[in-house]
Structures are given as structure tokens and as C-alpha cells.
Structure 1
Amino acid sequence: MTSLKTHARLLARLAALAARTAMTACDGILQTEPVTSLPQDQMIQDAATATASLNGAYDALQSGSYYGLSAPLVGDLAADNAVWSGTFQFLGEMQTNRMQADNAEVTGLWSAIYRSINRANLLINIVPSVASIPEPIRSDVMGQAYFIRALGFHNLVKYWGPVPIPTAFTTGPDESKAYVRTPVNDVYTQVLRDLDSAQVLTRNITNTRYATPTAARALRARVLFYRAEVSGNANRLADYQAALDAANQVLAGRDTLVVPYADLFSALGSNTSEDIFRVAFNATESNGLSNYYLSVGRAEVAPSSGLDAAYPAGDIRKAVSVRPSSVASRPLNGTKWSARPGTEHVHVIRLAEVVLIKAEALARLNRLPEAVAQYNKVRIRAGLAPHTLGNQVTTQDAVINQIELERRLELALEGDRWSDLIRLGKVLQVKVLQDRPGQALFPIPIRDTRVSPLLMQNPGY
């Protein structure tokens, strides 16, 4: 686990950037293998080293402190979807919302996100000046780098609120001393600016293990959806309308859910028509999710009894995500992640989430019949009867609450629950934060506040 102070030292060598051999349907410009070690002045000299460095940026997403484990894990463990069942005390702190500023899981996630951003910054800063890179490759590399950076900044603002948003490649540890926290609205402005660039520049349109213009639109819908609630923006309804517009672009021609739910989480990460952006893993570069969620692994976490009880009778999603174990002390296994080793390709954003974003945006805009029709798509795929406005749901609040439930069940164990509780203002209804209500936001890692004295800590730590 690395801090902001050590990012440059790590990135200056691009160490251990392993080949993404599990990728399928790769476009030609993406097939260059990541390099193992290069001095900084030789990192990007031509198309080959530019695409190798891009693969290095994607490799950062595979980290066990990012999408290889932490990103899907912490959003459910801090909330009410998962419980600590192992020996790592820092995970117990997260479940009970008694985290310290040196919490290892939080520090690892923070550091991994900034590592991915710094690798993206390297590409964004250097690639435009390398004349030997053909324009199609230059454009695609830049577009994907902007996407990776936007994703990182958005993940940071969801968990920590105001955060530093460096846009220059860090070349020395002393640079982090000047880092300050950027207001939430300004972080969102930067994220949306990066997504604009990603959408325009990205040439890859087929390989969903890399960014595509569709992925940029989908992430834009998510970002606007979150900003409407948490940024203090006075134009909330405008944000919801913009999120709806972005969601409609993604859903045009594919506004139904036809893939069996279990097939979205196959052991080999098979392509599906509902993929938008996934992080690839294989037996060599595996994710740690099954090792943590199954009793045959480390068994550090388990689905909560509350999540288990939240599924209505007949919900197909329950059998995929939560099953009884044979261990009395942890009666449930998280079987959405069951490959041993973890070879599933982890969804960062998928079609059903965009459907539910559209549903809630419609509900917030008081277009209730349309909102119900949208969330019914996930219910029908789950084997449940559709709802009718005026029967199962009668008011705007009831529709929004039902969408919250559908998000909880559809996206269970994928890391979205805590951020949903935050943006909906329901954290204190669901979790007891004891004497630390400020723990609705995660702590800035203490080693970074010591290195960067201008980084003010979140309240309660």
C-alpha cells in the first residue's frame, strides 16, 4: 500500500505491469504488452510504449486495493450488506464504522486510486507531445486515460468528499506537500470535463475491458446522478435531467435486460450484451473477492442477514449472490464471487445500473409511470412480478424507495450500497455511527496528512 508521497517513485518504473491475457475482442491498437520497467525519460517514445503505458494504467485498476478487492468490498462492508467474519481488525472497524485514520483498507484504496490517476496523468501529459504516435492511437490512448482519471476522481469524491485532484504527473514526492482538498463541486466539474474528453477521443468501441465512448456516457450518467444529491448543487433537477439524457444515450437500442443474472458473473468473465466496462482478471492476475466472501477462503466478510432477508420470495438474484454456508459462525456465503481463484471480470458499471439510474432520474423529475416501467425491467429479469403505479407504489417517495431497494438487490456485493446511503441521506437510519457522525466520509490516511500538511482531516477522526 502506497501513499501520495511514494506514487512517483512507483510510477517512474512502471513495475510489474503484467499482460492482460484474459482480454477478448481487443482492438489492434490495444494489443501491445505492458512494459516491466522503464526509466521515466523512456516511458513514452512511440505508439508501442504509449499503449504499454496505457496497459499499465489499466493494470492499476486490477490492484487488490482497487477493483481486485477493495472497491467492490468497502461499499457493502461499511453499509448494511456485509459483515466482518474474519481476523483483519481493520475490516471490523469498517463494519462498525469505528475506523481510524490509519485503517489499512481505507489507506490502500486511497493510494490505489491515486496510483491509477497518476498513471493516467502520465499519458495525458506526455502523449500529445510525442510526434511519432499516429493520430488514431494518440486519440484513443488519451481518451482512455481521461476515462481512468475521471473514474478515479469520482471514486474519491464518493468516499472522502473534497479531495486533491492532481492533473499533472507526479515526478517527485515533495510535490504532494502542496496538495489541498478541492471542493466537491469542483471535483465533479473536473470529472465531467474528463468524461467529455474521453467520449470524444476514445476510438475503442468493442472491447468492454477498456474504456469506450459508451462507457464514458454511462459513467457520466452515474456522476451526474450522484452530483444531484451530494454536491450541494442548487440545480439538482437539472443534474437529474442531464443524467437521464446520458442514460438514454447508453440505453438507446438496448433498453431491456436479457442476460440471465448469473451469466453476468461467470467464472471466466464471459462477454455479455449488458457489459459496459469491466476490469479483467485471470488465474494469474486474480481478484480476491471469492477469497474474502467464501468460507473456503479467508472468509473475512459475509453477506449480512439484512441483505439475505431483503430479497423477496422468488428473486433469482438471491441464489446468485447469497447462499447458506456450512459454517455456523458465518451462516452465509457471498456467492456472486465464487471462482477460485477469482477470475471473474469485475463490473465497474453495467447496463442494469444505467436502467436504475434512468428510473431514479425519472422519479426525481416526477415522471412516475415511466420510472416504475424502468425499474420493472430489473424485477422482471429477477423473476418478480412488475409493479403498477397506484398499487404497489403510490407516491414519489415510494417509487424512489423501491428503486433504492432494487439497487441494493441488483448491485449487491458490487460496492455501491454505502455511496447510495450517503447520497440519499440515510446513513444514520441504517448504521449507528455512535459518537462519530462524521464517519459518513472515510478518513484521509494519516500518513498523507502528515506528508501533506494542508490536507485537512474529515470530521470525527
Structure 2
Amino acid sequence: MMKIKHILFSALLFSACDVLDQQPEDLIPTSEAIIDKQSATSAVNGIYHALQDGDYYGGRYILATEMVAGNGTASAFQAFWQELASGRVPVSNFHVEDSWIALYNVVNAANAVIEAVPNVGELDESEKNDMLGQAYFLRGLAFFDALRQYGEFYNTGSEFGIPLKLQPSLAPSETARATVANSYVQIESDLQEAIDRLGNGSPFFASQTAAKALKARVHLYQNEFGLAETLASEVIDELGALPPDYNEIYTTEESAEAIFELEFIQQDDPNVWSIEMYNNPPEVSVTDGLIDFLSNRNENERGMLFETLGNGLNRCIKYGTEAIEDGENTIVIRLSEMYLIRAEALGRSGVPNDALPDLNAVRNRAGLTSLTNIASDAELITTLLNERRAEFAYEGHYWFDMVRYGRMETIRGLESFRRIFPIPRREINISDGTLVQNPEYN
């Protein structure tokens, strides 16, 4: 299989120290570097490279959420992992700081493409639409992921959204936070631009189907169940039934279930999934609680992807089994999520049992028996939360699910304000009063 070579577009990507050392108006005018077809192609590839950052979909964005959700624990002495595992994350936590930079690096790279590509004379309209569609999709994804970590995404009436930086710049902290509602408006706008401009092809790239799928997730998070159900159904109609083998998506690149799959190859920086889970000792261990949860549910298929190593250590093998592997991919969006989105949308907007057909499609594929009745809305939420925990363990959903279902405080025993991370103290300090901290963080 031909591997995709994501080319580092160095003019778009900066280290953390660059962000701190430069004044916002002194940034390199990255859009001026996009002057022809070759540089435009490199710039688009550069967005994917930024997405692969170790502090983003290279592993830590997802690992961090699994830690705060209680699915992961720190198995080596590193304070930032221990802080995440406790759920009481300080404003100076290394992940909180570095993830902010990684997310806005993607935004900045996408902004450069969106600003420059319409003016590149070598490109025809079809090429421009494809490049712009990819940039809008990836910016929408980064904004959504930033909102989930740093904004009160569960409350559309909240003022605590995220900075919506829409021009090339590495200074998001110079932009005031939008409301949560306006943050969602921008995310939806970006994804609709992607839907309108993109076609379909390899799941290694943004596509119309991937944009529909992500937009379904965005609507679900806002309890906009009719819109979520419509988009999820469109994706299911396009892709069809679930592949029979649950584990295929982790063993086969571009499997029938993959909607958006971030590919890692040897030319890329090492995927931190493997490095952090397979060092001796590993930095991160799967909790006994998750192992017991899967065992008690007789999760023979989904449980195969988790191993007990002894000495209190467990690991997830969805992303490989060796410390240095040739690019185990990160699955960002997959088909079973569309079935569970539709199940939730139908069950929560109508009768709980309306969720059963799609819930059972996912359960049966995993080797579990069908459910026959869901007696109440509360039971539906419990069922959905458990099913999503099992289906997407170590894929970065469980924390956000327990938060949006209002179960975080009960499950994790944490104060309500810890449903989201703090804005990094560094960003607050350099914003000169523009950025406001999340409530109750000091």
C-alpha cells in the first residue's frame, strides 16, 4: 500500500518557544509563502502534519482525556500525568499548556491555506475547493477539540467558549473568547464549508463524509438530536452496515469502518501512543477499573485490545504493541460512532427504546446479546455511556460523554468546574487581560 507522505510545511509550524518569544504582530506572514500549486499542496499537507503532533492526535490529546476519565493512570513519576489521572488539573499542567499550542498550530496552518489558496493562479476551481475544504474541515476539528478541552461545551448559554482565530497568526491569546454558542456556530460553518467543497476518497484525507460525520457529533453535543440523526443517517446510508470484525479497523489501514484515519509512517515523528504505553515501565497504564468493566460485561471482542501485564500494569494495544512501530494510525472518526449517535438522537428525542436497533447493531458486532427494553431516560443515558465506553475505550470519548451526560461528578467525585481544563496560565499572562480564565481556576 502506498503511504501518504505528509510534508512538513515549516513556515506554518512553530515550536512552543516561538509562540512565547515573538510579539503577535511580528509573526512571519505565512500566507505569502503559498504562491503556487506546489507550495499550496505543501501547506495543506502541513495541516495534517500539525494534527499529528504528539500533544494532539499523535496521542496525548486522547490519552489525557482517558486519564481524567479514570481509564488511565500514571505508572511513571511524571507530575503532569499524575495531575491528569487525579482529575484535579492545575493551570500549569504541561499537557494543558502544550495541547493549547498544538491545537492552535492546526488552526494557524488552516488559516494560511484559507487566506492564500483563492489567490493562487495555478490552481483551477476544483483544486481550490478541495484544498479549502480540507482546511475548513481541519480547522473545524481543531476548534471543536479546543472547545471540548477548554470551553464549557456542554452549556450553549455559557460565555466561556474559545478564541476563534480566523487569520494566520500564532497568537490566539490576543483574541477574546467567543461564547460557547458562537464557538459552535463557527465550527458548524467550517464543517458546512467542507461538506459543500469536498468529495470523497481515502479516509486518510478530509472528505465530505468525514465532515458530515463530525458535524453529526457537533450537533449531538448540543442536544440537537434531529440534525444529528439526519447527518448520522446520511453517513450510514453512504457507508452501509458495520463490518463484521470489530478489530479490523485496528489491523487494516483504510478499513471499511474508517471515516477519518490519521496515518503515521516512519518519516513522521514517532507516534507517542507507543512510546508512552510501551516504555519499561510505561508512562501510562490502563486502570484495573477499565479492565474489570470490560471483563464484567463479557467483552470478549472489545476486551481483546487490552492486556494485563502484571505488576499492576495494563495496556491498550489498539495503537501497536512495541515502543517503536511503523506508524500505528489514530482513528479520529469511525462508522460505529454514527450508529451510536443515531441511537442516542432517536432515544433522547423520542422513546428510549427507539435507540435499540442501532445500539444492538453495535453490541451484536462486538459479540454481545441484544437489549430488549430501556425503561427510562436515565437508563438510556447509563446504557449509552457504558456502550460508548466499551466501544471507544482509549479513543478519547468517555470523558466528554460523562461530562455532557451530567455524570462526571458522580463517577469521578470531582468538583463541577473540573468538567473542563483551565486555560494555561502562560496564555492568560501573555494575553494582557484579553483571555479570561475558566471559573474557579486560580
Tell me the TM-score normalized by structure 1.
0.84
> What percent identity do the matched residue pairs reach?
30
| 2:189 partner amino acid | R
Are the equivalent residues in 2 in contact too, given 1:241–1:361 (CA < 8 A)?
Answer: yes
Aligned to 2:20: none
Within the alignment, does 1:216 sit opposite 2:211 as a pair?
yes
Are the equivalent residues in 1 in contact too, given 2:342–2:355 (CA < 8 A)?
Answer: yes
Structure 1 residue runs of 5 or longer lacking an equivalent are: 1-19, 24-30, 229-238
Shift of 1:86: 1.4
Rounded to whole Å, the distance in 2 between the matches of 1:346 and 1:279 is 5
Rounded to whole Å, the distance in 1 between the matches of 2:382 and 2:350 is 14
Counterparts of 1:27-426 in structure 2 under 5 Å? 33-35=7-9, 40=30, 42-161=32-151, 162-170=161-169, 176=172, 178-203=174-199, 205-228=200-223, 239-266=224-251, 270-285=253-268, 286-294=270-278, 296-297=279-280, 299-311=282-294, 312-326=296-310, 328=311, 330-340=312-322, 341-342=324-325, 343-389=327-373, 393-426=374-407
Which deviates more from structure 2 when the two are superposed, residues 248-257 or residues 191-200?
248-257
Which deviates more from structure 2 when the two are superposed, residues 148-157 or residues 276-285?
276-285
Shift of 1:292: 2.1
Superposed CA deviations along residues 362-396 of structure 1, whole A, max 9, x for unmatched, are 1111243431110111111111111112xxx3223
Alpha carbons of 1:124 and 1:297: their partners in 2 closer, same or farther (altered >3 Å)?
Answer: farther
Rounded to whole Å, the distance in 2 between the matches of 1:139 and 1:76 is 36
> What is the SS of the residue equivalent to 2:73?
strand
Structure 2 residue runs of 5 or longer lacking an equivalent are: 13-27, 152-160
Alpha carbons of 1:437 and 1:397: their partners in 2 closer, same or farther (altered >3 Å)?
Answer: closer
Count of matched residue pairs:
411
Aligned to 2:15: none
Shift of 1:255: 4.2
| 1:66 partner amino acid | Y
Shift of 1:42: 5.0
Within the alignment, does 1:460 sit opposite 2:440 as a pair?
yes
Structure 1 runs, 4 residues or longer, greater than 3 Å off = 31-42, 175-178, 367-370
Shift of 1:450: 0.8
Rounded to whole Å, the distance in 1 between the matches of 2:314 and 2:125 is 52
Are the equivalent residues in 1 in contact too, given 2:164–2:172 (CA < 8 A)?
Answer: no
Are the equivalent residues in 2 in contact too, given 1:32–1:51 (CA < 8 A)?
Answer: no
Shift of 1:36: 5.0
Are the equivalent residues in 2 in contact too, given 1:422–1:440 (CA < 8 A)?
Answer: yes
> What is the SS of the residue equivalent to 1:59?
helix
Rounded to whole Å, the distance in 1 between the matches of 2:400 and 2:267 is 31
| 1:108 partner amino acid | D
Tell me the TM-score normalized by structure 2.
0.88
Aligned to 1:17: none
Rounded to whole Å, the distance in 1 between the matches of 2:10 and 2:79 is 34
Rounded to whole Å, the distance in 2 between the matches of 1:333 and 1:262 is 16
Alpha carbons of 1:220 and 1:176: their partners in 2 closer, same or farther (altered >3 Å)?
Answer: closer
Rounded to whole Å, the distance in 2 between the matches of 1:97 and 1:219 is 27
Aligned to 1:446: 425
Alpha carbons of 1:400 and 1:120: their partners in 2 closer, same or farther (altered >3 Å)?
Answer: same
Alpha carbons of 1:401 and 1:41: their partners in 2 closer, same or farther (altered >3 Å)?
Answer: closer
Superposed CA deviations along residues 82-131 of structure 1, whole A, max 9, x for unmatched, are 11211211110111122211110111111100000000000111111222
